[in-house]
Amino acid sequence: MKSSHIYWYSYFGLGQLATESREGLFAGQESPSASMSLQEATARAIRYYADFRLRQMEEVLAGAQLDVARFDLLPRLTTSLGYTSRNNDAFGFGFSPNGQVATNPSASSERSHTTLNLGFSWNVLDFGVSYFRAKQLADQVLIARERRHKAVQILVHDVRHAWFRAEAAQRLLPEIDKLLAEIETALEKTRIIENRKLLPPAQIISLRRGLVELQQQISFRRQELAQAQIELAALVNIPPGTNLVLDGVGPEWRTSMDLTADAGRLEATALNNRPDLTEEGYRARVSESEAKKALLSLLPNLTFDLGSNYDSNRFLLNKSWSSAGLSVAYNLVKVFSIPATNRNAEAQRQVDDARRFAVAMAVLAQTRIAAVRYMLLAHEHGVWQEAARDDAQIVKLLESGANAGVDTELELIRAKSRAMASNINRDLSFANLQGVVGQLFQSMGLDVVDDAQLKNPIADLSKTVGSRLEEFRRSLFTERAAPAAIRVAMGPVSGIDPAAGALLSEGMDRIFKTAGVRLSDPSEASFRVAMRVVIQPPRSGNQAARLEFRVIESKTGKEWFDSEFKTTLSSPVDDEQVRVLGEAAAYRILVWMSGLRGAVAGAEPPPNRKPSAEAPELSRLALTLDGAPYALRMDGELAHATRTPLSLWVPPSGGAVGAEVRP
């Protein structure tokens, strides 16, 4: 908007300003597709999001300031044209060396005359200060560029999270509205039933209270879903309230993947790519240039002057002449400020180092937290998936008998409400999981587009974004494989004959198969089960039995678990009773094994797990943090002739992260 418009708005009011602001916010945009994918939403946000456009303008402004500062490096070339006139002659009396005043006045200047001057001046001190100021502004341009990179990375994360929430809202909100209407109808029925005393008061009040609680949960979650589309519309710079139609998410997206990149690889990539650390390197160079400017100002001020002059005064013997000059000026008081200037520069250097260390630690922590959060949310999503499946089965069972009575009908509504709550939690947990994937990409400083691609059409930009996101995903994650079956071998069974021991093993095998545990040959098994059975003689038609068993690791012989239980068998003991003994032992062993297979992997990323052979390596992953310098991302035209790279490293002994500036 032109600056001259400001005065017009201040006089005529802000109505036109608001109108033009709204029109300018959405002007020149490509129309969205009929069904918007995640890639297109990300591309539109990168192109049109207002905050990102502000970052771009800040970078342009920094570049313009640099262009202006470069002219300060040039010497001064000045010209002046003057005209002088007076109403009388400039007569004056001269006097001789002995003090005698002349009797006749004289003048050497006309009443009116013209002067012309062309001068060349170069101040060495001004040149030095301007040189370091230009270096600072060049670094400011690079800082603005890194902030734009950071804005893009944050934007990709925000769009990813918002898109999956909006996609869940698109699917669930119609069903939620329908269910809430059914709940209102059911609540009205409970009031009628209560008034007519068709059911006991305690039962009907309990049913109604359960419905109200589920209604509260669904309504609360509905608020989150209802504003998801507005958040996404703001990110992709579409007027809020626009009905966005999003691509559906297929079943392949609904399964969480395994994070296979180890923590060291993630952190190395983050230290190499994060714009925050690169910005700190540039800021340290800005401080270094400021310290050099301060020291330069303590030097003598040397000025060269060269000029050509003309004066139209006819009384001058030489109307044109050239002049040259050299002057040196020095403020002696500044000599005493040298120690203070040096202390200030050293203090600023220490502040820059401390800030850089803090940023490096924050980068490491953010990356590790993102990895841990992914694994925790992946587990949470799996829990909600199981809950949603179970609730759906309950609804199907109740629907088959919904006509049995009023209480069954109300219980069906409660089951549908629980199922809807589980579906909402499942989809929101999945959206949060995808948001953490974006957070992981952001914490590692991964760019989805290059600077040269920002002006591409939305369709081309969407393809680029999609391919880069898929590349990142395949580099860090692999498809979750089914857990490998635990192999168990039956060891010696003492106390009973071999035939009864075979029946015992058959009973254990029944239960193990349902849990994914296989009975196998001892040479292939991870564990073996040693058992001892003691069956007392018959007494009053019953026989007391005691079963003792131990779980032993096949390779080491280490005993991991031992237990026993007692029971009573009917006399005579038949084959099925012996099988049931084996089933009871299997149940107890499975309870112990659940700790091996069902532990939540959330405290630490999986160590030393390699991605699949098809997964491509991320760009710039060859970084080894063993003291090699960490090169800043530099622009060829704006890079300084003398560079000061920032070095980040992790000591081989595993100590704390350190940093230094190396000349």
At 23, which amino acid appears?
E
pLDDT at position 436 is 92
What's 138-278+355-478's CATH class?
Answer: mainly alpha
Structure token digits, residue 43? 């591309």
**Residue 114 — φ and ψ, nearest 5°?**
-115, 145
At residue 52, the pLDDT reads: 53
pLDDT of residue 612: 39
Q: How many Cα atoms within 13 Å fall on the side-chain side of residue 422?
A: 20
pLDDT for 492 equals 77
Residues whose CB is less than 8 angstroms from the CB of residue 383 and which lie 6 or more positions away in sequence, other chains included: none
In whole angstroms, what is the distance from residue 312 CA to residue 85 CA? 12
The predicted structure's pLDDT at residue 594: 64
* pTM, full prediction: 0.68
pLDDT, tens digit (0-9, with 9 covering 90-100), for 494-547: 888 888 888 888 888 888 877 777 777 777 788 888 888 888 888 877 888 888
Provide the 8-state DSSP code for 618. P
Buried b (16+ CB within 10 A) or exposed e, 383-392: ebbebbeebe
- DSSP character for 370? H
Q: Which helix (H) or strand (E) holds 76?
A: strand 76-85
* The one-letter amino acid at 282: Y
Q: Is 620 left (phi over 0), alpha (psi -120 to 50) or beta?
A: left
Q: Count of CB atoms within 10 A of residue 361's CB? A: 12
CATH class of residue range 486-597: alpha beta
Query: Residue 537 in 3-state DSSP?
Result: coil
Q: First-to-last CA distance in the chain?
A: 45
Closest CA to 161 of 410, 525, 541, 436: 436
Question: Distance (Å, rounded) from C-alpha 249 to C-alpha 58?
Answer: 37
Cα 402 from Cα 395, distance rounded (Å) = 10
> What pLDDT is recorded for position 647?
33
- What is the C-alpha to C-alpha distance for residues 454 and 464, in angstroms, rounded to an integer? 10
Query: Per-domain residue ranges for the chain?
Result: 1-26, 138-278+355-478, 486-597
Whether the Cβ atoms of residue 452 and residue 461 lie closer than 8 Å to each other: no
Q: Sign (positive/negative) of CA torsion 225, 231, 235, 238?
A: positive
The low-confidence residues of the chain, meaning pLDDT below 50, are 1-4, 6-12, 18, 21, 402, 404, 597-663
